Amino acid sequence: MDGARTWIPPVELAVTASPKVGRSAAAAPRPVVLSLEQDGEAASRVEPVEAVMAAGESAESASATATGRGGVLTGLLLVAILLWVSLTVQDAVLFLRQQWQSHLLLGLFFTLLTLVLSGLLLTLVGREWRRFRRLRTLTVLRQESYRVISQQTFGLGQPLLRRVALLYQEREEMVACLESFYQQSDDYLGDRELLLLFSDQVLSVVDARAYQVVVRHASAAAVMTAISPMAWLDALFFLWRNLWMVREIAEVYGARPGAAGSLVLLRQAIRGMMGAGLTDLLATGVAHSMGDSVAALLMAKTGQGLSNGLFIARIGLQTMQACRPLPFMGEAPGLAQIRKALQRELGNGKSQER
């Protein structure tokens, strides 16, 4: 309006005698930003996930407050826990005082015991908390990559992928594909392209391993439920299977969730199945259940086993989505192969539990 220039005028400069100037684009060393960071002491000394967390500290705390909207229920739970803890403490103190009063040795013995017990308890809670936070890191990374993808930015992708790579760089089988990724990631690539390339070249290896875990658990569950005669045993086994699988998948993706983390993941997966997975359920589920009912007619138990296996498989696939540091950008892994594997398994009639 006021005639002020809103653009930057072109500039031409002579190339100053900088140390190394490549004569051509091909000869120029590709700026392998990620590998520089790998030698850093932070990466080599600190456990991988912690290093990632350190990098993503600020973002994490931001999103932690965002998720801290538990409402009345959380408040109630917190107060209840607080009440329980203070009651226990009070009880313990009263009990110890009684013991001290009755005899010196008794008091000493029980105090020691209490101290050891609470020490152990605190370590357990601390570890569980740390592991839970590690799991959050994956979510934070995924949220950030969502942003990078949708906003089509430039220059944010590499630092983000550097953090993701920290999760896997110590695995032997990942060294080659990480190396090839660094080699192929040209400096002209936009963030979205970089993430796509990483997803394709590096995470696909991790995905394949996670998928194997899902297939293994699903087929094992299908066979076991199919042959167990007791309903309650089935249910127990089913829950235990799920938790075990969720934990294994999270480990494949670079987190080591404790019991609490696994439960949260499981809840997330089931919620995912109810919400986002509903379309998937409708699309594949109708066809599958048609197939299932035929199978059920033929052999009731096998049909039930197949359904259970597929259910576990769905939870597994949802967990994969919840644990993957980048979102699936192409096609997310589907049920088709799992279904085939299950049918093969049931057809053979033998378990490959490992």
Single residue of 10, 19, 68, 347 touching another protein by CB under 8 A: 10
148 CB contacts (<8 Å, ≥6 apart)? Answer: 156, 157, 160, 191, 192, 195
* By CB under 8 A, residue 201 contacts another protein: yes
Nearer to another protein, 6 or 67 (CB): 6
Supply the minimum distance, in Å, between the C-beta of residue 344 and another protein. Answer: 16
Distance, in Å, from the CA atom of 255 to the CA atom of 276, rounded to the nearest integer, reads 23
At residue 18's C-alpha, the angle toward residues 17 and 22, to 5°, is 100
* By CB under 8 A, residue 73 contacts another protein: no
* By CB under 8 A, residue 36 contacts another protein: no
CB 337 within 8 A of CB 214: no
* By CB under 8 A, residue 208 contacts another protein: no
* By CB under 8 A, residue 150 contacts another protein: no
Supply the minimum distance, in Å, between the C-beta of residue 148 and another protein. Answer: 12
Single residue of 40, 155, 275, 349 touching another protein by CB under 8 A: 155
Distance, in Å, from the CA atom of 255 to the CA atom of 95, rounded to the nearest integer, reads 41
CB 214 within 8 A of CB 320: yes
Single residue of 4, 8, 17, 66 touching another protein by CB under 8 A: 8
* By CB under 8 A, residue 15 contacts another protein: yes
Distance, in Å, from the CA atom of 303 to the CA atom of 296, rounded to the nearest integer, reads 4
Nearer to another protein, 26 or 231 (CB): 26
CB 326 within 8 A of CB 253: no
* By CB under 8 A, residue 187 contacts another protein: yes
Q: Which stretch binds another protein (CB under 8 A): 14-22, 213-221, 240-248, 304-312?
A: 14-22
Nearer to another protein, 185 or 319 (CB): 185
Supply the minimum distance, in Å, between the C-beta of residue 202 and another protein. Answer: 11
Helix axis angle for 204-227 and 172-184, nearest 10°, is 140
3-state secondary structure of 324: coil
Distance, in Å, from the CA atom of 278 to the CA atom of 268, rounded to the nearest integer, reads 14
The pair of structure tokens assigned to 81 is 């826990």
Q: Which stretch binds another protein (CB under 8 A): 32-40, 115-123, 179-187, 303-311?
A: 179-187
* By CB under 8 A, residue 26 contacts another protein: yes
Judged by phi (left if over 0) then psi (alpha if -120 to 50, else beta), residue 21 lies in beta
Distance of CA 111 to the CA centre of its chain: 41
The pair of structure tokens assigned to 289 is 């259940």
Single residue of 13, 17, 72, 298 touching another protein by CB under 8 A: 13
* By CB under 8 A, residue 12 contacts another protein: yes
* By CB under 8 A, residue 25 contacts another protein: yes
At residue 163's C-alpha, the angle toward residues 158 and 167, to 5°, is 135
Supply the minimum distance, in Å, between the C-beta of residue 135 and another protein. Answer: 31
Number of residues engaging another protein in binding (CB under 8 A): 36
Distance, in Å, from the CA atom of 163 to the CA atom of 40, rounded to the nearest integer, reads 13
Single residue of 46, 107, 159, 190 touching another protein by CB under 8 A: 190
Contact positions toward another protein, by CB under 8 A? Answer: 5-15, 21-28, 152, 154-155, 180, 183-190, 193, 196-197, 200-201
